[in-house]
Amino acid sequence: MFGVLGSFGPFRMQTMTIRHRLSALVAVLTLAGCAPPTPEQQFLNDAYAALGGRSRIEAARHLTIEATGVNYNLGQDLIPDAATQTFEITDYQRVIDIANSRQRVEQVRTPKFAYFQGPQPQKQIQGFDGEAAFNIGATGSVTRLAGRAAADRRADLYHHPLQLLRATLDPATTIANVRATGAIRQADITLQGGPVLTLAVDTAGTPLSISSRTYHANLGDVVVTTALSDYQDVSGLKLPAGFEGKVDAFTTWELQASRQSLDGDVGDLSIPAGAPAAAAPAAPTVTAEPIGQGVWFLAGQSHHSVLVEFSDHLMLIEAPQSEARTQAVIAKARQTVPAKPLTQLVITHHHFDHTAGLRAAIAEGLTVITHSGNRAWVADMARRPHTLQPDALAVTPKPVTVEGVDGQLEFRDATMALTLYHVAANPHSDTMLMAHFPRQAILVEVDAFSPGGQYHPYAANLLENIQSRKLAVDRIVPLHGAVATMADLAKAAGQ
């Protein structure tokens, strides 16, 4: 049943059936204030006490956390599930305006691996103000978040026990479903307007973790968890100094507080005046440019694909960015060669931005071809539940067929020949493929060389992969940027 945050003394009944109301009334009349607390009340009372008491929680105005730590590279690492690529986090400061539900997080992240945006530190500023979620760029420009991203930012504010327990003092907040697993108790706390946050506490009531559910375009339904540890005294409160963020089982960040303070001057955390409204996502645009006999560049916006025509079927290389983009790319492929069925999808590597349309392609019945190191991962992506925001595959479930490529695999018939090669030892991805068309002297690749980019940390490796295999290449067709030459690649590789 729903427990209550509010009106017996501090508790108020929220969601009760008539029978419950009557029994509560009887309890009040007969026990006259001596009623034992409900499991929900007990759960909260223990958590309040562990943090330093309800009145101290209520009195707290602002919290400032300074920390250092690590961000991981979920969905963009060398291989699926790996956590080898990290950003060092310095100058981290999280400021929470508790009563006004405002938060500002600033950090500097420095890649500790060969990063496509270069090795220099990047400053990041993320804000939340009441209902407004926003980022502040290096030049001070404000970008508003919308939809799921804004809801996730709001949830993040409550992934701190002080902010969450403070929110339970609001009579509009409800708590339910207290349960125990061994010595750990959990309860679901629902804020007015969402989200639902699951708080886990130990036997003493000390918060161990806070989780909430959200939707991820690649991973589907996920649980985002902040694990809490290393409780320390901060001006009369006990607050965690150790934090670990997870998306399902993947650790995505870790922070260790070096200094925490309460009720100092935190400045103005409200959204800057004049911030523009959140931009609506751009509708996908796809062009079809012939770049050789039976090969079309399906370009547009930031992530491109390639269409290949065989005697009796079509192959698509890459299903990037989103379900909407991939559906537009598939429509353009069918429109370009309407007489033949589109049956195969090659995914170059597992990175989220290049596979966000994978499930849309599976829903269209396409067989997936990828490096053998991505096979289990593709099967997992096809299997994961997408109930919070059902996508095409959730609406129309289809079995997936995945074919693996190790070193190389040739596809040849009367009209077309192409070979998929593993891009060996590339520091961007260990399980990445490139496609070579010997008759057209074209190489399709992604991320190893993005013409027009400022940094090319993987270009030398791509050049080596082309040269060691003695591939004839006149043009490089990149899935980011414009068609380039071997001379362009050699120049980038020489940087």
Q: What residues line the site for Zn ion (CB under 5 A)?
A: 351, 447
* Preceding amide of 195 cis, omega within 30: yes
The answer to whether 355 touches 218, Cβ cutoff 8 Å, is: yes
Q: What is the spatial distance between Cα 379 and Cα 10, in angstroms, rounded to a whole number? A: 51
Return the number of the residue (11 or 352) whose C-beta is nearest Zn ion: 352
Return the number of the residue (238 or 351) whose C-beta is nearest Zn ion: 351
CB of 57 to Zn ion, least distance (A): 44
CA atoms within 13 A on the CB side of 32: 1
Return the number of the residue (63 or 329) whose C-beta is nearest Zn ion: 329
Residues 6+ apart with CB under 8 A from 330: 316, 342, 360, 361, 364
CB of 349 to Zn ion, least distance (A): 6
- Cα distances (Å, whole numbers) of residue 195 to 130, 174, 292, 491: 14, 11, 52, 51
One-letter amino acid for residue 350 of the chain? H
CB of 79 to Zn ion, least distance (A): 12
CB of 459 to Zn ion, least distance (A): 14
Return the number of the residue (129 or 447) whose C-beta is nearest Zn ion: 447
CB of 116 to Zn ion, least distance (A): 8
Return the number of the residue (185 or 351) whose C-beta is nearest Zn ion: 351
CB of 81 to Zn ion, least distance (A): 15
Residues 6+ apart with CB under 8 A from 253: 69, 70, 71, 72, 89, 243, 244, 245
Tokens 């400061």 correspond to 93
Return the number of the residue (38 or 321) whose C-beta is nearest Zn ion: 321
CB of 6 to Zn ion, least distance (A): 50
Return the number of the residue (210 or 433) whose C-beta is nearest Zn ion: 433
Return the number of the residue (351 or 422) whose C-beta is nearest Zn ion: 351
Return the number of the residue (356 or 442) whose C-beta is nearest Zn ion: 356
Q: What is the spatial distance between Cα 154 and Cα 145, in angstroms, rounded to a whole number? A: 11
Q: Which residues of 114-147 are buried (b: 16+ CB within 10 A; e: fewer)?
A: ebbeeeeeeebbbbbbeebbbebeeeeebebbee
CB of 456 to Zn ion, least distance (A): 13
CB of 355 to Zn ion, least distance (A): 10
CB of 320 to Zn ion, least distance (A): 8
Look at the alpha carbons of 20, 24, 25, 27 in this order and tell me if their dihedral is positive or negative.
positive
Return the number of the residue (262 or 420) whose C-beta is nearest Zn ion: 420
Q: Which residues of 259-277 are buried (b: 16+ CB within 10 A; e: fewer)?
A: ebebeeebeebebeeebee
Q: What is the spatial distance between Cα 465 and Cα 310, in angstroms, rounded to a whole number? A: 26
CB of 23 to Zn ion, least distance (A): 59
CB of 461 to Zn ion, least distance (A): 13
Return the number of the residue (94 or 480) whose C-beta is nearest Zn ion: 480
Return the number of the residue (216 or 351) whose C-beta is nearest Zn ion: 351
Residue nearest to Zn ion (CB): 351
Return the number of the residue (254 or 447) whose C-beta is nearest Zn ion: 447
